[in-house]
Structure 1
């Protein structure tokens, strides 16, 4: 019996080995590129032949005139708004599972998941069609109804950038994120619902006292993952929606790194920004994991 179990264990380990090697190759080996942050890197010249710069690029990153404070503020603002909106996926999943007709339920689920597979370039084209100043459908409608006297440039409105970008990402990902919660709902013991029915609980009370507590472990794990990615904004979204009018409120750490490394060809500074972001994200993740573990007993580490 033990020998059979050992063979099964070794077989499972052998099956996971290729995936482990892929993670090692594409996630950990590239960390050697962090060395560019400590040398004056010149493309085409070996890192070992580059002039050692020490912490010069990190000092430049924190010096006066740097866009780092602006990038951190925007990244944290967009990240916290995304975390505040994270319960919406769980609520949507509960609402979908409450739909009685299976065909209608599947249609709603598929329809809400489709935006996740649309490229951000197409997403920008859609929102440009609706909200652009010249010819935007929403602006034309508001003007014809005399609700506004002049078109509103929502895509370039600096004051509305954080909220607008959060609504865009919610629209794009909420249906896909709800699938995880729908799967978690199916694993909840049906006897709990039967017991709640015997006690006279309706749909709302069942969702409140059975479904939501059953989803809390899943929500906790996803919340920790979101906190770990707090400083990792959706670069594709920021890249396509960025313009001169909203730059001060939309530039994030990822965009700042791209601008420094690929636009200005300062690869060492761009790498320094990436190192700062990764180390800070790791610290935030461990801190959040410790706090949530003490409060709820659930953790991912």
Structure 2
């Protein structure tokens, strides 16, 4: 087993339902990468969207992680308690001219394919969003530990993106960048459905003068129709009373040898065997994620 001094990884679920197969794959993959490096593994609850949150879901997710033997190396953090950090970062961006208030509606952006390059002249709303200014020709690339080189033309494919939503909540992109830096995260291991967010996060890190972690994007678990398995597609929750089958499936989805954990009689035994046999080179690359523009209107003002 290799050792990477100072390695700090994390798992950051949203409390929109019970922990399902796709979330467990991300949790197990990030835990294995951290443990293999002799590093620390943290858990952060990304509870920034109250309308989408399910009461009790965060506690249930933490119980499931514990039932699976996946225990964080420190207190669990909650984004809902960290608004002061996000506000300070946003003020820095506004003061530097890197962020601006946006009064555009979703229909305004829809007419431009969901990509914001300038605000509609004369439009004023009482509850504007705040966006990061993306300069023309802004292209961000990085080396992903699983998928290799990945790059985006942010101006053309994403546009000026939301930092604080028009309805009030902090946007994911700002919160995750501030949190990763504040918690000293050096490695971000997560699902490939978040791959297209990474270039935005790197640009934000650059604007705020924050370090850029290393990234590794795991394959997502496909549902019966080939789409990402998620709570919205009625993914089955992990059974806290018998998590071994779900752990074994997540291990196999990571491209690892099922025989290595076949004899495990408990989650602790499975994790011990998995860590001894884990080979990151076997993790499949997986299909490319959906383009950013398909979900780029989030945060605009509804008409």
Assess same fold via TM > 0.5. Answer: no
Of structures 1 and 2, the larger Rg is shown by: 1
TM, length-normalised to structure 2 = 0.26
TM, length-normalised to structure 1 = 0.26
* Structure with the bigger percentage of helix: 1
* Structure with the bigger percentage of strand: 2
